[in-house]
Structure 1
């Protein structure tokens, strides 16, 4: 992926060097329970314990050594986030006639807090709807490559794009509607609804990848394969198998590897938001 020397985003909140004091966050109660959307990616665990249904939290981050790899990751995230801002601003205007309001992306290392609860290396990247913020530990890219076998710049870009896609869903009112529905559902039905949310975010990520190539010419040979591999490595069935567990479809919250790849490809091929309606799909 061609990203060096390009514009970075001003919507980065860097907490990696903070220590000591904390600042109260203005979270909104209730909707924080929509999802901690990507928290179980590489451990395959239920992350509901990280959700603070009461709303507010503290924005403190532990002090940690910032390595050259962390700095490179931060620069990469900033450029990728800037790309998403331009892409989604254009798509919202052309396809919806609306103005896109970008999210804040919080970089941290070690641990921090959000209105959706605690964040650490164990939770993975996630989007917090009431704050309109995405959270990312810069160590995650190392985990993505070394532990999940999903290396490459574009695999990392897919992670960022997926979190931003959840913000797009929030902007469109989708997450609020999903939260209301899930509150009335059984656990199995709630999980199934979560799968539809995640697969739509994968589809939106594909739309972003297509537009990024058209607007910036940033994709290189092998980049799409990197994203498809990342989507495969974080499928619920693959995560459960790799954790030595039996595959239990009723517990899926993100979709199978095949589903995640297919919906990403769908967005990539179409570039059209209307093709990503996973909620109306009879086959996921």
Structure 2
């Protein structure tokens, strides 16, 4: 993926240089909770303490004691900033041409180890998540190392797919889909709520595919093997694969993100079509 020297986004809040952080008060909410469970399955770590408590308070972006960022952290921050800028330009264009409304981009919060959000506390173990309460994405860039070394999904476009997927949740929020789906989930049984979550996540994968296609069309940034990297990342974080790696027999009724095959296929659906209506997982008879 071509990204060096490209425009970076100004919608970044970088908390990584702060010592001590704000602690891990409150519980993990929204899609952070889902990721906690999935990553916990794979890593074999008991993450249930993160799921205790209520919604957690806010976090003020005021400077405290700081530490210098490493060269790797600086590079990761620059990369995320450029990818986020690509999402801003692409979705602004897609909303104008396909939705007929302006696009309001999210803020992306970079953190190291621990931070807080209105959706609850987060640690590096939670993975990236979107918090609809403040329209922000939370990302510990160390997750990219986990993605490559532990989940077998290396490559810069695999990392870009992760960012694009979380931005896709914001796109769902902008379209009114996420709020409606979450209201239905709140009134459903656990198994029904899981099934709705799968449709939410697969739609985000599809929207990520649209982003990949439009990024190439607008900026010509894709390189040989990039799409394969994204598809591989989607496959490596399917619920069935993660449960198998954790030594479990896959249990479809517990799936919250979709199978390896489903995640890869819906990403490809978005990439091949480039059209938002093609990502209607809620009406799809076959996921």
Q: Does TM-score exceed 0.5, indicating one fold?
A: yes
Q: Report the counterpart of residue 41 of structure 2 in structure 1.
A: 44
- Per the alignment, do residues 21 and 81 of structure 1 end up closer, same or farther by CA in structure 2, a change over 3 Å counting? closer
Question: Which of 120, 124, 149 is residue 152 of structure 2 equivalent to?
Answer: 149
> 1:28 maps to what in 2?
none
Q: Report the more deviating stretch, 170-179 or 212-221.
A: 170-179
| TM-aligned CA distance change 1:122 to 1:55, over 3 Å | closer
Deviation at 1:42, TM superposition (A): 3.2
Partner SS, residue 113 of structure 1:
strand
CA-CA distance at 1:179 after TM superposition? 1.6
The change in CA–CA distance for 1:254 and 1:63 in structure 2 (over 3 A counts) is: farther
Distance (Å, rounded) in 2 between the aligned partners of 1:211 and 1:268? 8
The partner residue of 1:35 within 16, 31, 34 is 31
1:62 and 1:112 in contact (8 A); partners too: no
Distance of 2:222 and 2:48 partners within structure 1: 33
User: Matched residue of 1:122: which SS?
Assistant: helix
Q: How many residue pairs end up in the alignment? A: 276
In structure 1, the residue corresponding to 2:40 is in which secondary structure? coil
Q: Which residue of 2 aligns with 1:202?
A: 205
Stretch moving more, 12-21 or 101-110: 12-21
Per-residue deviation, residues 173-202 of structure 1 (Å, max 9, x unmatched): 111101210111110000000000000000
Given the alignment, which residue of 260, 267, 270 partners 1:267?
Answer: 270
Please name the residue that 2:117 is paired with. Answer: 114
The whole-number CA distance in structure 2 between the counterparts of 1:21 and 1:74 is 18
Residue in 1 aligned with 2:281?
278
| Deviation per residue, 1:74-132 (Å, 9 max, x gap) | 10000000000000000000001100000000001111011111111110100000110
User: Is structure 2 residue 142 aligned with structure 1 residue 139?
Assistant: yes
More helix by share: 2
Aligned to 1:27: none
| Structure 2 residue 42 is matched with structure 1 residue 10 | no
Q: TM-score, normalised by structure 2?
A: 0.90
Give the whole-Å Cα distance in 2 for the aligned partners of 1:77 and 1:11: 11
Give ranges in structure 1 of 5+ residues lacking alignment. 23-31
Residue in 1 that maps onto 2:71:
68
For 1:24-57, what per-residue CA distance to the aligned partner results, in whole angstroms no more than 9, with x for missing partners? xxxxxxxx95433544453338879548754633
SS at 2:41 equivalent: coil
Specify the SS of the correspondent of 2:127: coil
- Given that 1:33 and 1:52 are in contact with CA atoms closer than 8 Å, whether structure 2 keeps it comes out as no
Partner of 2:25: none
Structure 2 unaligned blocks of 5 or more: 23-27
